[in-house]
Structure formats: structure tokens, C-alpha cells
């Protein structure tokens, strides 16, 4: 494909990715209004947030495997269609039960978009040229991440629109993506006998969901050491062990276990998990820090994350261009891991009195490191697997990165809550204030409404959230250092110059070809002649050339 054809095909992919990102970010500032309007509880608030993430993370491997078996364009359009259905159900919801169900449907669609967009890119773009297109997806990621909360806040505050448009707004983009994909993306359908591993798929989804429910709710809905923890972790481990048993014996496994024999896939998977913990687990609470510790409005808090997004965008674009030009990629993974570790370490020094200039510098450093690391881990894995396993390998990396983000968010959220509680209690004692309980600034569980707190108490809470947020980055830094250790052991291999579809055709041709000996034409014999032996290595044939 020419550059123009690739860009045309990517237009639909970019629209689809924008939809997936928007679904996760546009409701962040609207959720308090949504829950209040539907008369739901705090636990329902948690499930509205968690349901989409659970569905997306659990189904990414399934979409990846399906992309190895069926038409990729059709699967992309199907995932976009599911997203449209989920968005319409969410927008018309009059009860929290239907809203949570619709978020599950949205999550399944977003899982397809997350996995399939990168698989399709690898199918149409050779690894050697893939790097320079990663910056375009970085731009879409940046715009969706920054614009989502801002758009959500505006929609909620506009009386003639309201929170329901937070779900409706993604529908036109999804429909546009379906139309663009139909017009611009042309992929051949590989005819092959298909056996879908339904049992393995069920066991994987059930086991992953059990563990994700545990890490999402432990420390909030129930204690980490409780019978719920034992039931969810024990059940999840048993289900995943059964899934491994099934996957090792089925003809078409959802996650082919043999891909983990590939050193590059194994190391990039571990690194993706650690990046998910460090990146998402550390940064997801920055908006809360901006609003509570620094006293900024939700709109300003959304804008304050721009330095990190811009750092990610610039580094992913520049590194991608250089990788495409030189074919060298390992040095950028190592540099990205180092810079990410430095950024997290610097952010572990922030507090309630940190200046925005210094904070912007720290966030930009973190964004630069993540931009050099995250997308190029996928590139390294895609370059080193057979074309028939591109979908499975890509989705495994996306799955573990999402899993890491979920684990990091849950565990570090519990650390944040405990640290806020202890720091608030300590500050109140030092100020001579008697805690009143109830969570309005005493760290008792709910996020405080800073506008209702008296000045002395507000100062204590601001300091507590500043210290607690810094601790999150301190806990995330070792994960970044482990990711650095992991990428150091990656073996750099030359980037392939053929696309996934071309490699698939080459591999299919190699499989159908006979042994090498069948391609050697022996000297023609006359009837009745004795058989002519094949020349041994080192012998000479009648032409005088060595065999």
C-alpha cells in the first residue's frame, strides 16, 4: 500500500480509536451528576466506572484471536456497532441497572477497537514503516484524553443538553468510522477451517473478571483480608488454571501458549504489565490532586494534564520517525524506561505547594518516557511473531497493559485512601482540631467537598492529598525500574520490511511447498537405465560444478 492508501485506511481506525478513548474519559466529570439524577448509591458509582474497564480488559484477547480467524474489517465494524448500541442504551437509561449493563456493552466494543486497530495496522504496514504512523495514534490519544473530560463538563453544565449527551456524542464518530472503514480499508479474507474455543474463552473471561472485580473493589467495598477476597482470588486462580489446561490441548486456543516461548513476546508482555501499573496507576489520581490539593476547577484540572500528553505525543512521533528511518528500536525502549522512571521519581516529590511550572516539567518527562516505551513494545512483539499470530500477540500485550492499569489503580487507590486518612488525622492533631468523622475532611472514606470546609481544615486536607499523591508515584517507581530491567534483556532484531498480510501469504506458500529435495530435478533417465544417484555434497556434476 502507498502512504496515501495507508493514511486513508487509518482515517477509519483513528475515528474508531477516538471513540474508544472518548467513552472512557467523557463521563469522568459527569458521573456525580449522573448518579445523583438516577438516585443511585456510591457502590453503583463504582460499578459504572468499573463495568466498562472489566469488559474491555477481559475481551481484548478474544478479539485478538478472532482477528486471526475472521475478516478484520468486519470485526472492527462489529465492535463499533456494539459501541453504538451500548452508547444509545446508556443515553436512554432511566435506572442504574441498565446504565451498568450498557457500560458492559460499551466495554466489549471498546475492547475490540483497542485490540483490532493495532492488529490492522500491523497487517497493512511493514514493521520498518510502522513507527512513523504511531505518532498519528499518539495525537488521537492526546486529543481524546484531554478533550473528553472538558467536553463532558460542558455537556453536563449546558441545560439544554445534559449528561445523556456524554453517551450520545460518540455515536456520530462511531458511525463515521464504520463508513470510512467500509470505503478505505481493503483486506483479503483468508479462507481457513475455523474452530472456536468456546470453553477456553469462557474460562479466561470468567477468571479474569473474578480477579478484576477483586482488585477493583477490595479495600473499598470489602477488606483486602476477607472471605470475599478469598472467594474471588481462589475462584479466579482455579478458572485460569483450568483455562491453561484447556488452551494447551485445543486446536485453536484463544491465547496460544506457544507464543510465550518467544522471548520477545514474553519480555514485552511483562514490560507492558509493569508500564500499565506505573503509568495508569500513578497518573489516574492526578486530576484529584489538581482539584483537592491545588484547589483547581475540573476544567482547569483537565488542562493541567496537557504537559504530560504533549510529551507523550512528541516523543512517540519523533521516536517513531527515527525508528522507521534507522530500523533500530531497542535503544528507544531503554531510554523510554529510564525517562519514565525519572519522571515518576520526580513526581514523588510533589506536594500541596508545588508550582505549576515544576509540576509541568515533571509530567512532561513522564509523558516523554511513556511515549517512547508503550507503542514500541507492541512494535517489537509484532516484528518477532508469525503473521498468523499477530492478533493473539498484539491483544496479549494490550490485555496485560490494561490488567496492569486496573491493578495499579485499585492497589494505589487503597494506598491513597489510607495515606490521606493517616495524614489528615496527624494534621488535625497538630492543629488542635478534633475530628468530627463522616469523611468530610478526616480521611474517612468519601472525597471531601473543599468548598464547604473551613480554612484550617482545608489546609490540612490539601496537605494530606499532596503527600498521599506523591507516595503513589513513589510506589509506582519500582515498577518502572523493573520495566527497564525487562527491556534491557530484549534482543534487537531487524524490523521486517513486509506487512502482516504479505508475511501471511509468504508463510502460507512456504507451508504448501514440498521438501527442498522435491525442487531438485535429477538427470533424466532413459528407459532401462540404472537409477542415477543424487550428487553428494562436494561431488561434481557433468557440467563441472560442485553440488
* Model confidence band, residue 296 (pLDDT cutoffs 50, 70, 90): confident
Q: What's the rounded mean pLDDT across residues 384-408?
A: 79
| Mean pLDDT, rounded, of the chain | 78
C-alpha neighbours within 13 Å on the C-beta side of residue 527: 0
Does residue 240 lie within any of the structural domains? yes
* Model confidence band, residue 531 (pLDDT cutoffs 50, 70, 90): very low
403 and 273 Cβ atoms separated by less than 8 Å = yes
Helices (H), 284-355: 286-288, 298-304, 306-326, 330-347
Instruction: Compute the distance between CA of residue 403 and CA of residue 216 in angstroms, rounded to an integer.
Output: 11
Whether residue 516 has pLDDT greater than 50: no
Whether residue 423 has pLDDT greater than 90: no
pLDDT at residue number 532: 45
- If asked whether residues 373 and 272 sit together in one domain, one would say yes
Does residue 90 lie within any of the structural domains? yes
Count other C-beta atoms under 10 Å from residue 307's C-beta: 20
Q: What's the rounded mean pLDDT across residues 495-518?
A: 62
64 and 382 Cβ atoms separated by less than 8 Å = no
| C-alpha dist (Å) from residue 115 to 13, 150, 206 | 11, 26, 19
Does residue 527 lie within any of the structural domains? no
Does residue 202 lie within any of the structural domains? yes
Flag the least confident range among 88-102, 191-205, 243-257, 364-378.
Answer: 191-205
Q: How many residues comprise the chain?
A: 547
pLDDT at residue number 483: 93
Strand, coil or helix: 546: strand
C-alpha neighbours within 13 Å on the C-beta side of residue 534: 8
Whether residue 527 has pLDDT greater than 50: no
Instruction: Compute the distance between CA of residue 217 and CA of residue 409 in angstroms, rounded to an integer.
Output: 11
pLDDT at residue number 297: 73
- If asked whether residues 265 and 357 sit together in one domain, one would say yes
In angstroms, the first-to-last Cα distance of the chain is: 41
Q: What's the rounded mean pLDDT across residues 347-366?
A: 90
Percent of the chain with pLDDT over 70: 80
> Of the residues 227, 251, 275, which one is the last residue of a structural domain?
251
* CATH number for the domain that contains residue 274: 1.20.1250.20
Q: How many domains, the chain?
A: 3
The C-alpha cell at 315 is: 516523543
The candidate with the shortest Cα–Cα distance to 14, out of 133, 178, 137, is 137
| C-alpha dist (Å) from residue 148 to 30, 89, 152, 313 | 11, 20, 6, 17
Flag the least confident range among 64-68, 90-94, 106-110.
Answer: 64-68
Flag the least confident range among 127-136, 164-173, 302-311.
Answer: 127-136
- If asked whether residues 183 and 292 sit together in one domain, one would say no
What's the gap between Cα 435 and its chain centre?
Answer: 41
457 and 335 Cβ atoms separated by less than 8 Å = no
Q: What's the rounded mean pLDDT across residues 427-455?
A: 60
* Model confidence band, residue 256 (pLDDT cutoffs 50, 70, 90): confident
Instruction: Compute the distance between CA of residue 14 and CA of residue 384 in angstroms, rounded to an integer.
Output: 25
pLDDT digits 0-9 by tens, 214-243:
877 777 677 878 898 899 999 999 999 998
> Of the residues 213, 236, 251, which one is the last residue of a structural domain?
251
pLDDT at residue number 78: 92
Instruction: Compute the distance between CA of residue 77 and CA of residue 19 in angstroms, rounded to an integer.
Output: 13
C-alpha neighbours within 13 Å on the C-beta side of residue 81: 8
- If asked whether residues 418 and 308 sit together in one domain, one would say yes
pLDDT digits 0-9 by tens, 281-293:
666 778 778 878 8
Global pTM value: 0.75
- If asked whether residues 276 and 247 sit together in one domain, one would say no
* Model confidence band, residue 192 (pLDDT cutoffs 50, 70, 90): low
pLDDT digits 0-9 by tens, 124-167:
888 777 777 766 776 677 677 667 777 777 787 777 888 888 88
DSSP annotation string for 355-390: -HHHHHHHHHHHHHHHHHHHHHHHHHHHHTS-GGGH
Instruction: Compute the distance between CA of residue 215 and CA of residue 12 in angstroms, rounded to an integer.
Output: 34
Buried b (16+ CB within 10 A) or exposed e, 439-459: ebbbbbeeebebeebeeebbe
pLDDT at residue number 282: 62
Instruction: Compute the distance between CA of residue 270 and CA of residue 118 in angstroms, rounded to an integer.
Output: 19
| C-alpha dist (Å) from residue 438 to 449, 459, 464, 547 | 12, 18, 17, 89
- If asked whether residues 317 and 376 sit together in one domain, one would say yes
- Dihedral of CA 170/74/392/52: which sign? positive
Instruction: Compute the distance between CA of residue 53 and CA of residue 58 in angstroms, rounded to an integer.
Output: 8
pLDDT at residue number 451: 64
pLDDT at residue number 530: 46
pLDDT at residue number 85: 93
The C-alpha cell at 340 is: 519514565
- If asked whether residues 322 and 242 sit together in one domain, one would say no
- If asked whether residues 143 and 240 sit together in one domain, one would say no
115 and 63 Cβ atoms separated by less than 8 Å = yes
Q: Which residue has the cell 464547604?
A: 452
Between these two residues, 365 and 452, which has the higher pLDDT value? 365
- If asked whether residues 43 and 145 sit together in one domain, one would say yes
Q: What's the rounded mean pLDDT across residues 445-451?
A: 58
Domain containing 21 equals 1-187
- If asked whether residues 88 and 220 sit together in one domain, one would say no
> Of the residues 187, 217, 241, which one is the last residue of a structural domain?
187
Phi, psi of 2 (to 5 degrees): -75, 165
What's the gap between Cα 163 and its chain centre?
Answer: 26
Does residue 504 lie within any of the structural domains? no
Between these two residues, 441 and 404, which has the higher pLDDT value? 404
- If asked whether residues 235 and 268 sit together in one domain, one would say no
pLDDT at residue number 312: 83
Between these two residues, 110 and 299, which has the higher pLDDT value? 110
Q: Which residue has the cell 489520581?
A: 285
335, containing H or E segment: helix 330-347
37 and 163 Cβ atoms separated by less than 8 Å = yes
Q: What's the rounded mean pLDDT across residues 290-314?
A: 80
The candidate with the shortest Cα–Cα distance to 113, out of 48, 169, 52, 50, is 52
Instruction: Compute the distance between CA of residue 455 and CA of residue 449 in angstroms, rounded to an integer.
Output: 13
- If asked whether residues 262 and 247 sit together in one domain, one would say no
Instruction: Compute the distance between CA of residue 319 and CA of residue 331 in angstroms, rounded to an integer.
Output: 10
Flag the least confident range among 63-72, 200-209, 395-404, 532-541.
Answer: 532-541
Does residue 268 lie within any of the structural domains? yes
Does residue 515 lie within any of the structural domains? no
pLDDT at residue number 42: 56
Q: What is the DSSP letter of 497?
A: S
Q: Which residue has the cell 475472521?
A: 70
Does residue 466 lie within any of the structural domains? yes
The C-alpha cell at 137 is: 495514534
Amino acid at each position: 500500500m502507498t502512504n496515501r492508501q495507508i493514511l486513508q485506511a487509518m482515517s477509519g481506525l483513528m475515528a474508531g480509536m477516538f471513540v474508544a478513548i472518548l467513552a472512557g474519559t467523557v463521563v469522568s466529570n459527569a458521573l456525580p451528576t449522573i448518579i445523583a439524577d438516577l438516585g443511585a448509591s456510591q457502590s453503583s458509582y463504582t460499578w459504572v466506572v468499573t463495568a466498562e474497564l472489566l469488559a474491555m480488559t477481559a475481551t481484548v484477547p478474544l478479539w485478538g484471536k478472532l482477528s486471526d480467524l475472521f475478516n478484520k474489517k468486519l470485526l472492527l465494524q462489529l465492535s463499533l456497532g456494539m459501541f453504538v448500541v451500548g452508547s444509545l442504551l446508556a443515553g436512554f437509561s432511566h435506572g442504574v441497572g441498565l446504565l451498568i449493563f450498557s457500560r458492559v456493552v460499551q466495554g466489549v466494543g471498546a475492547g475490540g477497537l483497542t485490540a483490532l486497530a493495532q492488529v490492522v495496522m500491523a497487517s497493512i504496514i511493514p514493521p520498518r514503516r510502522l513507527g512513523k504512523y504511531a505518532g498519528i495514534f499518539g495525537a488521537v490519544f492526546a486529543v481524546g484524553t484531554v478533550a473528553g473530560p472538558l467536553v463532558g463538563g460542558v455537556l453536563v453544565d449546558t441545560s439544554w443538553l445534559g449528561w445523556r449527551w456524554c453517551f450520545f456524542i460518540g455515536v456520530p464518530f462511531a458511525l463515521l468510522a464504520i463508513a470510512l472503514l467500509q470505503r478505505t480499508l481493503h483486506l483479503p479474507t483468508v479462507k481457513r477451517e475455523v474452530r472456536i474455543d468456546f470453553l477456553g474463552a469462557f474460562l479466561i473471561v470468567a477468571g479474569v473478571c473474578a480477579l478484576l472485580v477483586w482488585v477493583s473493589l477490595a479495600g473499598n467495598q470489602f477488606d483486602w483480608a476477607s472471605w470475599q477476597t478469598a472467594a474471588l482470588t481462589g475462584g479466579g486462580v482455579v478458572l485460569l488454571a483450568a483455562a491453561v489446561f484447556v488452551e494447551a490441548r485445543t486446536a485453536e486456543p484463544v491465547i496460544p501458549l506457544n507464543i510465550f516461548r518467544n522471548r520477545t513476546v514474553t519480555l514485552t508482555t511483562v514490560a507492558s504489565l509493569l508500564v500499565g501499573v506505573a503509568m495508569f496507576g500513578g497518573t489516574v489520581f492526578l486530576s484529584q490532586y489538581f482539584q483537592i490539593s491545588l484547589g483547581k476547577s475540573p476544567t482547569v484540572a483537565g488542562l493541567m494534564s496537557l504537559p504530560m500528553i504533549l510529551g507523550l505525543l512528541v516523543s512517540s512521533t519523533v521516536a517513531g520517525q527515527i525508528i522507521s528511518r534507522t530500523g533500530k528500536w531497542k535503544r528507544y525502549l531503554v531510554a523510554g524506561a529510564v525517562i519514565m522512571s525519572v519522571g515518576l521519581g520526580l513526581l514523588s516529590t510533589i506536594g500541596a505547594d508545588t508550582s505549576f511550572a515544576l509540576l509541568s516539567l515533571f509530567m512532561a518527562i513522564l509523558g516523554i518516557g511513556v511515549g517512547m516505551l508503550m507503542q514500541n513494545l507492541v512494535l517489537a512483539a509484532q516484528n518477532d511473531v508469525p503473521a498468523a499470530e499477530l492478533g493473539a500477540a498484539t491483544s496479549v500485550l494490550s490485555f496485560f497493559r490494561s490488567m496492569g492499569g486496573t491493578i495499579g489503580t485499585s492497589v494505589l487507590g487503597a494506598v491513597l485512601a489510607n495515606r490521606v486518612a493517616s495524614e489528615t488525622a496527624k494534621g488535625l492533631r497538630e492543629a488542635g482540631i478534633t475530628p468530627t468523622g463522616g469523611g468530610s475532611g478526616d480521611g474517612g472514606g468519601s472525597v471531601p467537598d473543599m468548598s464547604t470546609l473551613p480554612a484550617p481544615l482545608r489546609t490540612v486536607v490539601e496537605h494530606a492529598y499532596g503527600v498521599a499523591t506523591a507516595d503513589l508515584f513513589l510506589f509506582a517507581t519500582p515498577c518502572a525500574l523493573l520495566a527497564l530491567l525487562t527491556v534491557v534483556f530484549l534482543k534487537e532484531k531487524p524490523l521486517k520490511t513486509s506487512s502482516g498480510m504479505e508475511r501471511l501469504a509468504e508463510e502460507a506458500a512456504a507451508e504448501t511447498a514440498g521438501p527442498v529435495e522435491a525442487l531438485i530435478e535429477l538427470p533424466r533417465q532413459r528407459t532401462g537405465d540404472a537409477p542415477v544417484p543424487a550428487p553428494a555434497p562436494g561431488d561434481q556434476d557433468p557440467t563441472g560444478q560442485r553440488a
